[in-house]
Amino acid sequence: MTIGLQSVAALRRPRVLPIYFGVLVFLLYLPLAVLLLFSFNAGTSLSFPMQNLTLHWYQRLFDSPEVLRAARNSMVVALSSGTAATLLGTAVALLLTRFRFRGESFLFALAMLPLVVPVVVLAVALLVLFLAIGIDRSLLTVAIGHTVVALPFVVLIVTARLAGFDRDLEDAAMDLGAHYPKVIAMIILPLIAPAVISAWMVAFTVSLDEFALALFLAGNDATFPVYLFSQLRFASRLPVMIALAVLLMVATLALVLLAEWIRRRGHRNVTDTR
Amino acid sequence: MHPRRATFWALYLLPVGWVGLFFLVPLVLMFALSFRADMQGELLGLWRPTLDQYEAIFAIGSYWRLLAISIGMAFIVALMAVAMAYPVAYFLVFRAGRAAGLCLVILMIPFWTSFLLRVMSWKFLLGSEGVINSFLTYIHAIAQPLGGLLYSRNAVVITLVYVWIPFAALPIYAALQRIDSEMLESASDLGARPWASFWAVTFPLSLPGVLASFFMVFIPTVGEYVTPLLIGGSRGSMFGNIIQDFFTKAANWPRGAALSMVMLAVTLVLVAIAARLVNLRRLLE
Amino acid sequence: MNRALRTLLLVPGLFALAVSACSQKSEDTVVAQTSGELAVLEWAGYDAADFWIDFKNKYPDAKLSFEIGSSDADVYGKMKAGTKADIFHSYTGWLQFYVDEGLVEEIDVSKLKNWDKVPESFRAMGRFNGKQYFLPWDWGFSSILYRTDKVSGTVDSWAALLDPKYKGHISTWDDGPGAVTVSSYIHQYDETNITPEQLVAIKAEWIKQRELNLFYWAGEPELIDGMTNGDVWVAYAWQGTYATLLGKGVPVAYANPKEGRNSWVGVYGIRKGSPNKDLALRFLDEKLATATASNVVNQFYYGVANEEVMKGIADPTLKQAFSVDDPTVLQRTNFTPNLTARQRDDWTAMWTEVKAAP
């Protein structure tokens, strides 16, 4: 008995993991902290010594409709392509792990192929395709391109979850007469939800900062990375771009922490009533 | 089997149709373009196919050397990223508890900020008159500013690993969720020490995720060009930069297309060999 | 089909529709009038209203849309791929192909009110076979920019970019034809007629230079940061970088090399087959107008082909950057000649081999 307890305690002991995670988060956020610092700098470049502190750039930000429009465009494209990629990718993952058919390898290779091809090649090729077919370039064409490049990530993440997934629950449901689509929707999907959500987050992230496809396939509506690129030619515009990036990051963090706080309160309420 | 048939086709047609139209067709266009001699004339008209581009590429040894180096770099990056991402995934599944979702999002948020801006920050921090060098000089740890932190192949590898870790953690995170913590408790109840139960139980079950993660990092890194462009300096170019240059600096799409086809072929062969070695199909079931 | 599955399949469709509806809305406002629409294939930054402000004020009903090109090669590629842009913006060195491949319309200069403000040397930049195909607009110098506090003495030759004295602190432009130009200045090659042997020598030279070079810059901000924080001491640079650094108080000087500075000129062309030729011509005319031209000078620190605006520059930093007070500078300057397609292919391929070399 005591041996077992000791080993269980040993499993809990290493504080190494949280520290490791903390260091990683610190390194990831360090450049963002720098950007935050310089968003209050009156000067127009990232260099010491810093000149006067100012909120001027944030003010300018709200006077710049094009900047906000570019940010909105990026959001629209990322949301739609992220969702589309997740749906398509989950479908592929289900096919690969739940069905037996000739052409499984072909499907897997096809789903992985966008990872191999350099994005500039795909961008140029899609440009030629859209011009040849006569589809006008717009946020839609960008979203289409983004869906293609995000697909492999979704497939890999969801497949990793589904591989070797215990079939007992599925078999039981089918024995009870459930149609297979219902089994997918009611049993499989809820169980793999965290993986699907994290896959969606990756697809969303891939799209948000994607530049090459957006440059080639956007019409008049630039996404934020393309807009940023065009503005960087003016050294004077840089601080406003930094202000936007910082604002978005802080807003997202705040929202996320708020959501977590709400969730914890809700959880506490539930446990309190037990 | 009947109801599953309908489901199968429903699941199959949409993704395959999408990828077919918006990926395969453009890819075939590019493949055809690689047999063009130059950019003159109507781009979409018919032209006499020629092997000129491939001949030129095969004659230039330095391209092949760079491809090999890029593959090597991608391999190291993937290895390091996966190794360093594993503890992150483990933390998320077994230590973070209900905060796992929050932790995941916290990892992702930096990537919703422009990569360009973050690299500018890093250059500010690591430049020869940057914060880190100034600090080190100030405390007399170094006499000359450290040059190698930026603009070198090593800097590219380090940056790529840094950027890939959060993404590489995700397939592993997904795979580790299959593991019941009760399984681990039983293992320890039976007297297994933590490390032993990890290697005997946890790691093997997470293997599909580890492999998925490795390929997810390795494959696109072979053709990476953004990071070498921003951080690699003059000697840090990778094969992707050459392809990029032929499209955006040289306006020589046939040559760029041919190089891409070569890279595609080589990468696919490598992946096929690797997939054979780890018996991928068995793992997927 | 199961309801859940149907919903699953509907969602991507709905999203696609939503996104296209959003973009459709913005297209609707652009397409509001069938007459008075122009699509411009433009470089990043120049799509801002300041750089076509005269056109905007004079023709408020005209609708302008911009497609962004990121480089000369990109603009050329998009023109080849069949973009519907009416106007495109390219630079000297890249103009021959548009003429040879019939991609550009002739410009009727008699319809341009501001044409008389353009000096003959600039007009000639856009003339091929006696016909005016391009309208010169923005221009600038390329020379060697250097930190006076890190470099002893004055830099007086392009060879400084290959000088081992500055190892690890040189930055040159990421451009093959640019590198060939520099070598031809140094070795007195005929830039319009580089032989294969010379090209091999040039390649070897720049492979050696790579060991001295810190990074190749593709855009001015990169170089500005590099010179500000002291990483770069000697660089191939345009005068825009010079003016910016002067403005920031960084101790720099812009060389007048004995081989002469280089100068490049940006031009606008009308795409052959454009249905909006008349409006396009008006756009070009207004590009040369005073307010537009002044904005380019004051915001970008680039020159313009409008001589009056150039002579009227008052800011001392800009006067220094453009050597406005030196009337002979343009005579001692080498203007970028136009490449043939073959030269372009060879010189750009040469540069990739420099990057790929062991």
Can you tell me the distance from the alpha carbon of B18 to that of B204, in angstroms, rounded to the nearest whole number?
Answer: 35
**Tell me, what CATH number does C202's domain have?**
3.40.190.10
Query: Hey, which residues 316-345 in chain C have their CB within 8 Å of chain A?
Result: none
pLDDT > 70 in chain B, percent: 93
Can you tell me the distance from the alpha carbon of B246 to that of B255, in angstroms, rounded to the nearest whole number?
Answer: 7
Contact, B243 vs B224, CB < 8 A? no
Are residue C149 and residue C245 in the same domain, yes or no?
Answer: yes
Closest chain B residue to A215, measured at CA? B248
Contact, A77 vs A143, CB < 8 A? yes
**How many C-beta atoms surround the C-beta of residue C303 within 10 A?**
27
Do A116 and B220 lie within an 8 Å CB cutoff? yes
Can you tell me the distance from the alpha carbon of A203 to that of C219, in angstroms, rounded to the nearest whole number?
Answer: 29
Query: Hey, which residues 233-252 in chain A have their CB within 8 Å of chain B?
Result: 241-242, 245, 248-249, 252
Q: Which residues of A touch B284 (CB under 8 A)?
A: 96-97, 159, 163
pLDDT score of A14: 64
Contact, C289 vs C114, CB < 8 A? yes
Can you tell me the distance from the alpha carbon of C210 to that of B6, in angstroms, rounded to the nearest whole number?
Answer: 60
Q: B224 to chain A nearest CA, in Å?
A: 8
Instruction: Say yes or no: B10 contacts chain C, CB-CB below 8 A.
Output: yes
Residues of chain C with pLDDT under 50: 1-13, 15-34
Contact, B84 vs B160, CB < 8 A? no
pTM: 0.86
Can you tell me the distance from the alpha carbon of C233 to that of B199, in angstroms, rounded to the nearest whole number?
Answer: 54
Are residue A206 and residue A247 in the same domain, yes or no?
Answer: no
A236 DSSP assignment: G
Do C229 and B66 lie within an 8 Å CB cutoff? no
Query: Hey, which residues 49-88 in chain A have their CB within 8 Å of chain B?
Result: 88
Q: What is the dihedral of CA B87, B90, B95, B101, to 10 degrees?
A: 110
Q: Which residues of A touch C11 (CB under 8 A)?
A: 83, 87
Number of domains making up chain A: 2
Do B247 and A128 lie within an 8 Å CB cutoff? no
CA angle B131, B133, B136 (to 5 degrees): 105
Which domain, by its residues, includes C40?
A: 33-139+264-335
Helix, coil or strand: residue C84: coil
My answer on whether omega of the bond before B3 falls inside 30° of 0, hence cis, is no
Contact, A124 vs B246, CB < 8 A? no
Are residue C43 and residue C63 in the same domain, yes or no?
Answer: yes
Contact, C86 vs C274, CB < 8 A? yes
Lowest mean pLDDT among A173-177, A266-270, C23-27, C206-210: C23-27
- Closest residue to B90, CB basis, from A17, A122, A194: A17
Q: Alpha carbon of C224 to those of B188, C227, C264: distances in Å? A: 60, 5, 20
B21 DSSP assignment: I
Number of domains making up chain C: 2
Query: Hey, which residues 175-234 in chain A have their CB within 8 Å of chain C?
Result: 179, 181-182, 184-186, 215, 218-222, 226, 229-234
Can you tell me the distance from the alpha carbon of B213 to that of B78, in angstroms, rounded to the nearest whole number?
Answer: 8
- Token pair recorded at residue A228: 């940023």
Q: C12 to chain B nearest CA, in Å?
A: 10
Instruction: Say yes or no: C18 contacts chain A, CB-CB below 8 A.
Output: yes
Can you tell me the distance from the alpha carbon of A120 to that of C237, in angstroms, rounded to the nearest whole number?
Answer: 27
Q: Is residue A6 part of a domain?
A: no
- Token pair recorded at residue A21: 């995670």
Q: Which residues of C touch A222 (CB under 8 A)?
A: 68
The residue-averaged pLDDT of A114-128 equals: 88
Q: Is residue A11 part of a domain?
A: no
SS3 of chain A: helix, strand, coil, percent, to 5: 80, 0, 20
Which domain, by its residues, includes A247?
A: 16-54+240-274
Pairing of strands C334-335, C170-171: unpaired
Helix, coil or strand: residue C134: strand
Q: What is the ipTM of this complex?
A: 0.87
Query: What sections of chain B are H helices per DSSP?
Result: 2-19, 25-33, 52-59, 61-90, 100-108, 115-126, 131-138, 153-176, 181-189, 194-197, 203-222, 226-231, 239-248, 253-278, 280-284
Are residue C352 and residue C257 in the same domain, yes or no?
Answer: yes
Instruction: Say yes or no: A238 contacts chain C, CB-CB below 8 A.
Output: yes
Q: Which residues of B touch C213 (CB under 8 A)?
A: 233-234
Partner chains of B (3+ C-beta pairs under 8 Å): A, C
Helix, coil or strand: residue C237: strand
* DSSP element (H, E) containing A31: helix A16-38
Question: How many A×B Cβ pairs under 8 Å?
Answer: 294
Do A76 and C44 lie within an 8 Å CB cutoff? no
Q: Which residue has the higher pLDDT, C107 or A133?
A: C107
Give, rounded to a whole angstrom, the gap between the first and last alpha carbons of chain C.
60
Contacts 24+ apart (CB under 8 A), A63-66: A64/A240, A66/A227
Q: What is the pLDDT of residues C204-239, one digit of tens each?
A: 999 999 999 999 998 888 899 889 888 899 999 999
b or e along B192-203 (b: 16 or more beta carbons within 10 Å of the residue's beta carbon)? bebeebbeebbe
Q: What is the pLDDT of residues B128-175, one digit of tens each?
A: 767 777 777 778 777 666 666 788 899 999 999 999 999 999 999 988
**Amino acid, single-letter form, for residue C13:** G
Partner chains of A (3+ C-beta pairs under 8 Å): B, C
Are residue A159 and residue A178 in the same domain, yes or no?
Answer: yes
Number of H helices, E strands in chain A: 13, 0
Partner chains of C (3+ C-beta pairs under 8 Å): A, B
The residue-averaged pLDDT of A29-49 equals: 80
Q: What fold is seen in the domain B48-284? A: MetI-like fold (1.10.3720)
Do B95 and A18 lie within an 8 Å CB cutoff? yes
Are residue A185 and residue A49 in the same domain, yes or no?
Answer: no
Are residue A110 and residue A209 in the same domain, yes or no?
Answer: yes
Can you tell me the distance from the alpha carbon of C62 to that of C283, in angstroms, rounded to the nearest whole number?
Answer: 10
pLDDT score of A274: 44
- Closest residue to B165, CB basis, from A24, A88, A124: A24
CA A71, distance to chain mean position in Å, is 15
Q: Is residue A260 part of a domain?
A: yes
Q: Where are the domains of chain B?
A: 48-284
Closest chain C residue to A86, measured at CA? C12
Q: C195 to chain B nearest CA, in Å?
A: 19
Q: Alpha carbon of B67 to those of B35, B179, B224: distances in Å? A: 21, 39, 11
Helix, coil or strand: residue C67: strand
Q: Alpha carbon of C344 to those of C192, C273, C298: distances in Å? A: 11, 26, 33
Contact, B175 vs A163, CB < 8 A? yes
Question: How many A×C Cβ pairs under 8 Å?
Answer: 110
Are residue A212 and residue A246 in the same domain, yes or no?
Answer: no
Are residue C251 and residue C238 in the same domain, yes or no?
Answer: yes
Are residue C240 and residue C191 in the same domain, yes or no?
Answer: yes
Comparing CA positions, the residue from A139, A254, A146 lying closest to residue A200 is A146
Q: Which residues contact C191 (CB under 8 A, 6 or more apart)?
A: C180, C181, C184, C334, C337
Do C73 and B251 lie within an 8 Å CB cutoff? yes
Beta bridge partners of C303: C139
Q: Which residues contact A153 (CB under 8 A, 6 or more apart)?
A: A85, A89, A199, A202, A203, A206, B167, B216
Q: B140 to chain C nearest CA, in Å?
A: 19
Q: A197 to chain B nearest CA, in Å?
A: 9
Residues of chain B with pLDDT under 50: 1
Are residue C347 and residue C256 in the same domain, yes or no?
Answer: yes
pLDDT > 70 in chain A, percent: 87
Are residue C155 and residue C220 in the same domain, yes or no?
Answer: yes
Q: What is the dihedral of CA C194, C199, C202, C206, to 10 degrees?
A: 130
Do C70 and A215 lie within an 8 Å CB cutoff? yes
Closest chain C residue to B131, measured at CA? C229
Q: Which residues contact B71 (CB under 8 A, 6 or more apart)?
A: B222, B266, B267, B270
Q: Alpha carbon of C170 to those of C162, C163, C233: distances in Å? A: 8, 9, 6
Q: C236 to chain B nearest CA, in Å?
A: 14
Q: Is residue C1 part of a domain?
A: no
Do C214 and B234 lie within an 8 Å CB cutoff? yes
**How many C-beta atoms surround the C-beta of residue A273 within 10 A?**
6
**How many C-beta atoms surround the C-beta of residue A16 within 10 A?**
10
Q: Average pLDDT, whole number, for chain A?
A: 83
Are residue C127 and residue C208 in the same domain, yes or no?
Answer: no
Phi, psi angle pair for C52, to nearest 5° = -145, 35
- Closest residue to B237, CB basis, from C77, C168, C355: C355
Q: Which residues of B touch C168 (CB under 8 A)?
A: 147
Q: Is residue A274 part of a domain?
A: yes
Do A114 and B219 lie within an 8 Å CB cutoff? no
Q: Is residue C17 part of a domain?
A: no
Query: What sections of C115-238 are H helices per DSSP?
Result: 120-123, 176-187, 196-209, 220-228
Are residue A179 and residue A249 in the same domain, yes or no?
Answer: no
Are residue A163 and residue A97 in the same domain, yes or no?
Answer: yes
Are residue A218 and residue A83 in the same domain, yes or no?
Answer: yes
Are residue A112 and residue A166 in the same domain, yes or no?
Answer: yes
Instruction: Say yes or no: B194 contacts chain C, CB-CB below 8 A.
Output: no
Are residue C324 and residue C211 in the same domain, yes or no?
Answer: no
Q: Which residues of C touch A238 (CB under 8 A)?
A: 221
Beta bridge partners of C264: C140
Are residue C173 and residue C113 in the same domain, yes or no?
Answer: no
Contact, C122 vs C136, CB < 8 A? yes
pLDDT score of B280: 61
Q: Alpha carbon of C319 to those of A233, C140, C254, C301: distances in Å? A: 21, 13, 13, 10
Q: Which residues contact A106 (CB under 8 A, 6 or more apart)?
A: none
Give me Rg for the CA atoms of chain B.
23
Are residue C238 and residue C158 in the same domain, yes or no?
Answer: yes
Pairing of strands C334-335, C131-132: unpaired
Are residue C165 and residue C309 in the same domain, yes or no?
Answer: no
Instruction: Say yes or no: A47 contacts chain B, CB-CB below 8 A.
Output: yes
- Closest residue to B174, CB basis, from A11, A92, A157: A157
Q: Which residue has the higher pLDDT, A129 or C1?
A: A129
Instruction: Say yes or no: C82 contacts chain B, CB-CB below 8 A.
Output: yes
Are residue A87 and residue A223 in the same domain, yes or no?
Answer: yes
Q: Which residues of B touch C250 (CB under 8 A)?
A: none
Closest chain B residue to A2, measured at CA? B189
- Closest residue to C231, CB basis, from B128, B234, B247: B128
pLDDT score of C18: 45
